[in-house]
Amino acid sequence: MSRVHFAAVGPLEALNYAARAALFDRATSRDVGIRTRTAAVVERVRTEGDAALRAYAREFDGVTLETLEVPRARWRVALDALDPALRRALERSAANIRAVHEAFRPVASEVVTADGVRIGRRPDPLGRVGVYAPGGRATYPSSLLMGAVPARVAGVGEVIVCSPPDASGLPSAVLMAAAELAGVDRMFTVGGAGAVAAMAYGTATIPAVDRIVGPGNAYVAEAKLQVAGVVAIDAPAGPSELLVIADEWADPVVIATEMIAQAEHDPLASVVLVTWAPAIAPLVLAELERLVPLTPRERIVRESFAAKGGVITVGTRDQAIAFGTLYAAEHALIATRDASAVAAELRNAGTVFVGEASSVSFGDYMSGANHVLPTGGMARSYSGLSTLDFYRWTTWQVIDRAAAGRLADDVGRFADAEGLPGHAAAARQWINAS
């Protein structure tokens, strides 16, 4: 039986350049091959529309599509045929997602900056949003719910979903059922970079949207980046990531199980353990040797660990937190005795799971927090999907005549300094206003 290999194992200070790069260089957009192939797909869909989508369905999915849109009646059939226990789980998840996102809805606000000057800002729901629901190696109804339910909470006018077809030429039955539960308006059986391009530019069948949300593989993530100048996107969300920060109080079985759970997503998934407790690392490695051969997705897990995985030791708690802040993972699991204190100090993570019992799997499916999160180190500057992603903000300004008179002289001086006499004149006409 072959051993489980990692891209990096051992003390952080002893890692060579290649091992450090394997851990930190996770942005798929740096892959020239992915970037080039994605650009070709995006451009073909932009220029050929539905014909390109049908051609890619034959090439990538092995199906000939009679129609790109999934009839609404098929959603209802899929929901009615769903295993009752699974349906209850989906309904529970949707209810929790709705509750969390309703609590975080933004509200309008107004401030008085001077006597007679009021500035306000209000959140306006977007007109149409596109949700990408991944397929392929695995089917993710959870991702559909994470995108569509918050959009509905925000009051988006129309919510569409794109998801790859299976051998039947339709998205998987559980995805269609989830679309019905989430109150989606339209669903299309297209996937990959082509689906992103279709939602960005629009085709004869698929309407252009105001924002594209949802996770996907490296090609989907790259396509979102390439169309970001045309349509808003949520965040660069590529292959899954997990950073575990653990001490001697951690349960090695729990940690190993969590690492396997995230590695099984994709061979490009990134899973790293960092600890300042020398004894925990070999115990976790031993459990991984025992558990990896038992997982049905063993090959994917092994490839993930070998490409982007790590078991890293550092000297102190502060060094572990500093590593985590620099690593900027999609998911961070804090498995330490003082988990809340560590979580309070950790920056740059898509979402933080505080304590061993806070399994990332609960966040993936049921807690209600959103699991569409930035990857590739982009948690340094992006946040996870929330209701904020489904609004644009309108700012208003109210300045009465007397306030205009009080502002006019200073504004005129600014405009003069910038060489804009028209601006100065527009302001100074109010100098004698009453």
Active-site annotation holder among 264, 331, 356, 371: 331
Return the bridge partners of 259, or none: none
Active-site annotation holder among 101, 330, 356, 371: 330
Distance CA 290, CA 229 (A): 47
For helices 84-103 and 173-182, the axis angle rounded to 10 degrees is 40
User: Which residues have CB under 8 Å from 181's CB, separation 6+?
Assistant: 79, 90, 91, 94, 145
Catalytic (active site) residue 13 = no
Distance CA 301, CA 6 (A): 11
Strand locations in 189-290 (E) = 211-213, 232-233, 241-246, 270-275
Structure tokens at 175: 């995805």
Could you tell me how many residues make up the chain?
434
CB 378 within 8 A of CB 273: no
CB 240 within 8 A of CB 262: yes
What number of other Cβ atoms are within 10 A of residue 13's Cβ?
9
Distance CA 184, CA 148 (A): 7
Residue with tokens 């572990």: 320
Distance CA 49, CA 43 (A): 10
Query: Distances from the Cα of 7 to the Cαs of 268, 272, 297, 313, in angstroms?
Result: 12, 10, 19, 14
Catalytic (active site) residue 331 = yes
Residue 149 amino acid letter = V
CB 89 within 8 A of CB 142: no
Catalytic residues: 330-331
